[in-house]
Amino acid sequence: MSVRGIVAAGLLVGGWTGQVLAAASGAGEVAGLPAGAVPVMRAGIFHLYNLELERAEECFVRAGEVATNHPAPHVYLAASLVTRVMCEGPRAERDRGITRCLQRAVEAARTEEGAASRAWRDVYVGAVFLLRAQQVGMRGEYLEGLHMLKRAAGRLERAARVAETAADAGVLLGAYQYFGDYTPWYMRHFAGLMLAPTDRAAGLRRLDDGVAGAVMLQAEARMLACVAHSWEGNAGRAEELAAGLTNEFPGNPQWELLLQYVLMRSGRYEAALASASGAVARLEVTARPMARAVLADQHYYCGVIYAAGTNYVRALTHFGAAAAYAERKGRVRMWAVLRQGTMHDLLGNREAACACYRAAQSGREAPESVRAYARQFLDEPYAGQALE
C-alpha cells in the first residue's frame, strides 16, 4: 500500500485537517476565529499534528466554548476522530462521532453572524463536505463521495477567489488538480463529469502557494507538495518539506513515514532504512498508544524498503510483523499478507506464497486491488513487478 495509492485515493474522496498557524495579536480575528479562540485552537492543532489527540480534543472543546456558533472547532474535532481511525482502524462509534461533529459544523456555519467572513465559512463547510466524502468513500459509496466532493469544490472555488482565503482553498483545489490523474479510471470518469479537469502544473503551483501563504492548511500544503515534488523528481525540495514536518511535529511518526517514502523515491535506500529501523525501535517501546498504533504501518514500510534492496528474508519478517500488529487495520493487514506472498515467491517457496495469496483474496477487509493482485499471483508467481 504505497504513499501514492494512499494519497490518490484519499484525495479523491477527501481528507482534511486544518491548521491555524497565524500568530494571534490579541485583537481582531484570524481565519474567521474570534481572537480569544485563536491561541486555544493553535495549541489544539499542534497537538493534533503531534498525535496528542486527547489534548487536541480538549483544546477544541474549549475553543468551541469561546467561539460559540462557529464551525471550526467542530471540524477539528471531526478531524481528530478521523486521525484516530487512520491510526487505529475504523470503529462504528467513531464514525457516528465524526458525523455528529460535521453536522454541528454545518449548523454553526448557518447560524453564525459576523464571527467569520463568508469566504472562511466556505472553507470550513468545504472541509465538512470533504470529510463526509471521505466517510462515504471508505464505505465504498464512491458516487456519493463524488457528490460530496462536488459540493466541497463549489465552496472552495468561491473561497479561492477571495484574497483572504485563496491560499487555503487553493491547497485543496490544487490537490485535486495534481493528484486526480492517479485515481482509478472509473473515478476519474465520474469526477470529470462534475469537476474541472485535472491540471498537474496548476495543482503544483497552488500547493506551493499554500506552503508559502496558507493560514489554516499550511501543514497539508507541505505534505501534499512534498509528495508532488517527489513525483516530479524534485528530490531536494521534497526531502526539505518532509524533514520540516518531522522536526516541527516530532511526536507524530507518520511524518517519518513520509520522509522515508521521499528518500526511497530518490534512491537513498540506506537513509530510508536507517529512518525506518530507528522508528520501529522507538515505536516498539513507546508508552503512547496512538503512536504505537502506527507500528504496523512502519513495519510494513520497513518491509518495502528491504524488498527494494532485495533482502527478501528481512522484508518477509517485517511484513509478518505488520500483519500481526494491524489487528484493527484491515487494509494494512491484507496488504502485508499479500506482500508476504510476494516475498515467499521471490525466495522460491511457492506453496507458502499461494497460501498468502489465498488469504489475501478471501480476506473480508481486503481492498479490491489486493484481491486482484492475489488472483494474478495465484496464476503466475510474483516476479518483482512494481505494486500499487
CATH 3.40.50.10320 fits 255-379, yes or no: no
Residues 6+ apart with CB under 8 A from 103: none
What number of helices (H) and strands (E) belong to the chain?
20, 2
Which of 246, 182, 173 lies closest to 209 in space, CA to CA?
173
Q: What pLDDT, on the 0 to 100 scale, is given for residue 33?
A: 82
Residues 6+ apart with CB under 8 A from 227: 3, 4, 7, 238, 258, 261
Which of 143, 141, 110 lies closest to 125 in space, CA to CA?
110
CA dist., res. 178 & res. 241, Å (int): 17
Q: What pLDDT, on the 0 to 100 scale, is given for residue 188?
A: 46
Q: What pLDDT, on the 0 to 100 scale, is given for residue 112?
A: 55
CA dist., res. 153 & res. 198, Å (int): 13
Amino acid at 323: A
Q: What pLDDT, on the 0 to 100 scale, is given for residue 29?
A: 58
Q: What pLDDT, on the 0 to 100 scale, is given for residue 268?
A: 95
CA dist., res. 355 & res. 351, Å (int): 6
pTM of the model: 0.84
Q: For the chain, which residues make up each domain, given as ranges? A: 3-232, 255-379
Q: What pLDDT, on the 0 to 100 scale, is given for residue 46?
A: 92
C-alpha cell at 383: 516476479
CA dist., res. 39 & res. 84, Å (int): 23
Per-residue pLDDT of the chain (388 residues; tens, 9 = 90+): 444 443 433 333 333 333 333 322 233 457 778 888 989 998 999 999 999 999 999 999 999 999 888 888 999 999 999 899 888 888 888 889 999 999 999 888 886 554 447 888 888 888 898 888 878 877 778 778 888 888 888 899 999 999 999 999 999 888 878 887 665 444 444 454 445 567 889 999 999 999 999 988 888 899 999 999 999 999 999 999 999 999 999 999 999 999 999 999 999 999 999 999 999 999 999 999 999 999 999 999 999 999 999 999 999 999 999 999 998 899 999 999 999 999 999 999 999 999 999 999 998 889 889 999 999 999 999 999 988 7
